[in-house]
Amino acid sequence: MSSYRGRFAPSPTGPLHLGSLVAAMASYLDARVHQGQWLVRIEDLDFDRNVQGADTAILHTLQRCGMHWDEDIVWQSQRTEFYQTALQTLATHVFPCGCSRKEIADSRVRAGLQDQQIYPGTCRHGLASGKPARSYRLRVPDGDAAVFEFEDRFLGRQIQNLATEVGDFVLKRADGFWAYQLAVVVDDALQDITHIVRGSDLLDSTARQIYLQKLLGLPAPAYLHLPVVLSTNGEKLSKQTGAVGFDWGDNDLLKEALLPAADFLELHLARHPIDIPDFWNLASEMWQHKLSEKKGHDIS
Ligand code: GLU
């Protein structure tokens, strides 16, 4: 059996919509054409954004769409001891930060960095006296060591300077929630994920994740970032727009969800599928074709 292990990692903030279906479909097809495993992980660490029942609704829709996962589903909210252990492992690189969002914004203005999203380094060398810790941040390297490069299977070579483009980033948030960046790296490694296929909205997070993998001594998976589905007014789709109906029949799922998602991925199916299993056979052929077209970039 192939050693390929891929995953789809939705946040349960609403029902599956066209944008998240595209990520699910591409990760599923990629696992399928590599004869690999496909896992689903529910990223439910942001208790303020979780919507009750959204996880089961997403899983139900995946199943109805014919996307069947291997192995048991994992919920990040049940795995916090792993994130705590990783934070301890990283202790020498971590510092407590006492800044509120407003203080960070004000410091940026003072440092002339107001147009950037980077952390201005306020608490890097210690908390001001009497200031309580709010969050925990990872110190990013300086100089050449801050430059991270990786080869995206679709987008080619990517480069980001963590010091000048990101700054020291949060691993544990002021509200006590574990940050996405830490949890995703820990779980991808614990689940032996070899290939990550997801939307380009997360491209900007990848260098941070590669740095965390390096510090934790974890292997780096291969990355493929997909175009992000935008609404007609050019914004990223929210979970409420373009939602896939919970009770849709197979025909609606095909016509209103699977075929539009495949179109978005520019999978030009050889013919109209007769049913959902037929759709997956046709779409797999086209995904394979798409990969071989990219062969020049060494993406397989
Ligand atoms: N949970 C993230 C989201 O729903 C995806 C994380 C990932 O694929 O790395 O946007």
**Per-residue 3-state assignment (H helix, E strand, C coil) for the chain:** CCCCEEEECCCCCCCCEHHHHHHHHHHHHHHHHCCCEEEEEECCCCCCCCCCCHHHHHHHHHHHCCCCCCCCCEEHHHCHHHHHHHHHHCHHHEEEECCCHHHHHHHHHHCCCCCCCCCCCCCCCCCCCCCCCCEEEECCCCHHHHEEEEEECCCEEEEEEHHHHCCCEEEECCCCCECHHHHHHHHHHHCCCCEEEEEHHHHHHHHHHHHHHHHHCCCCCEEEEECCCECCCCCECCCCCCECCCCCCHHHHHHHHHHHHHHHCCCCCCCCCCCHHHHHHHHHHHHHHHHHHCHHHCCC
How many angstroms does the Cα of residue 263 sit away from the middle of ligand 1? 22
- Predicted local confidence at residue 241, as pLDDT: 62
Ligand 1 pocket: which of 38, 59, 202 to mutate (most atoms within 8 A of CB): 202
- Predicted local confidence at residue 259, as pLDDT: 97
- What is the token pair recorded at 161? 């300077």
Task: Tell me which residue of 150, 214, 213 sits closest to 186, measured CA to CA.
Answer: 213
How many angstroms does the Cα of residue 156 sit away from the middle of ligand 1? 21
- Predicted local confidence at residue 299, as pLDDT: 46
What domains appear along the chain, each with residue ranges and CATH number? 1-78+229-300 (3.40.50.620), 79-226 (3.40.50.620)
The strand pair at 74-75 and 37-42 is best described as: parallel
How many angstroms does the Cα of residue 132 sit away from the middle of ligand 1? 31
The binding-site residues of ligand 1, defined as CB within 6 angstroms of any ligand atom, are 9-11, 43, 184, 198, 202
- Predicted local confidence at residue 105, as pLDDT: 84
Ligand 1 pocket: which of 22, 43, 152, 177 to mutate (most atoms within 8 A of CB): 43
Give the number of the atom of ligand 1 that is nearest the alpha carbon of residue 201.
10
Give the number of the atom of ligand 1 that is nearest the alpha carbon of residue 198.
8
User: Average pLDDT per run of 10 along the chain, which is 300 residues long?
Assistant: 93 94 98 98 97 96 97 98 98 96 85 81 91 95 97 97 96 96 98 98 97 98 91 65 84 95 96 98 97 68
Angle at the Cα of 280 from the Cα atoms of 253 and 36, rounded to 5 degrees: 125
Angle at the Cα of 297 from the Cα atoms of 295 and 298, rounded to 5 degrees: 65
- Predicted local confidence at residue 237, as pLDDT: 63
Distance, in Å, from the CA atom of 63 to the CA atom of 276, rounded to the nearest integer, reads 11
